[in-house]
Amino acid sequence: MSHNSIEVISPGDGSVFCRREYAGEAQIRTALSRADSAFHDWKALDISRRAELCTALVDDFVSRKDEIGPEITRQMGRPIRYAAGEVAGFEERARHMIAIAAEALETVRPEPKDGFHRFIERVPLGTVFVVAPWNYPYLTSVNAIIPALMAGNTVVLKHSSQTPLCAEQIHRSAKAAGLPEGVFQFLHLNHDGTSQVAADPSVRMVCFTGSVDGGIAMEKAVAGQFKNIGLELGGKDPAYVRADADLGHA
- Sign of the C-alpha dihedral computed for residues 86, 143, 150 and 194 taken in this order: negative
- Is 90 exceeded by the pLDDT of residue 52? yes
State mean pLDDT over 133-142: 95
- Per-residue pLDDT band for 236 (boundaries 50, 70, 90) equals low
- Per-residue pLDDT band for 1 (boundaries 50, 70, 90) equals very low
Q: What are phi and psi of 43, to 5 degrees?
A: -65, -25
SS3 202: coil
Gap between the Cα atoms of 164 and 157, Å rounded: 10
pTM tops 0.85: yes
Question: In the chain, pLDDT over 70 holds for what percent of residues?
Answer: 98
Comparing 70-74, 123-127, 236-240, the range with the smallest average pLDDT is: 236-240
Q: Which residues contact 53 (CB under 8 A, 6 or more apart)?
A: 177, 178, 179
Model pLDDT, residue 240 = 82
What separation, in Å, do the N-terminal and C-terminal C-alpha atoms of the chain show? 41
Gap between the Cα atoms of 22 and 24, Å rounded: 6
> With contact defined as beta carbons under 8 Å apart, do 130 and 148 qualify?
yes
- Is 60 exceeded by the pLDDT of residue 125? yes
Model pLDDT, residue 242 = 87
State mean pLDDT over 79-89: 92
- Per-residue pLDDT band for 227 (boundaries 50, 70, 90) equals very high
State mean pLDDT over 45-71: 97
Gap between the Cα atoms of 179 and 192, Å rounded: 29
SS3 153: coil
- Is 70 exceeded by the pLDDT of residue 197? yes
Model pLDDT, residue 198 = 97
> With contact defined as beta carbons under 8 Å apart, do 157 and 130 qualify?
yes
State mean pLDDT over 188-192: 96
Gap between the Cα atoms of 145 and 58, Å rounded: 12
Widest CA span of the chain, in angstroms? Answer: 71
- Is 70 exceeded by the pLDDT of residue 26? yes
State mean pLDDT over 58-75: 96
State mean pLDDT over 122-151: 96
Q: Which residue has the higher pLDDT, 242 or 71?
A: 71
Task: Supply the mean pLDDT for the chain.
Answer: 94
Neighbouring CB atoms inside 10 A of 219's CB total: 14
- Is 60 exceeded by the pLDDT of residue 205? yes
Model pLDDT, residue 248 = 85
Gap between the Cα atoms of 232 and 217, Å rounded: 13
What count of Cα atoms within 13 Å lies in the side-chain half-sphere of residue 70?
Answer: 4
Gap between the Cα atoms of 151 and 124, Å rounded: 6
Comparing 30-34, 38-42, 116-120, the range with the smallest average pLDDT is: 116-120
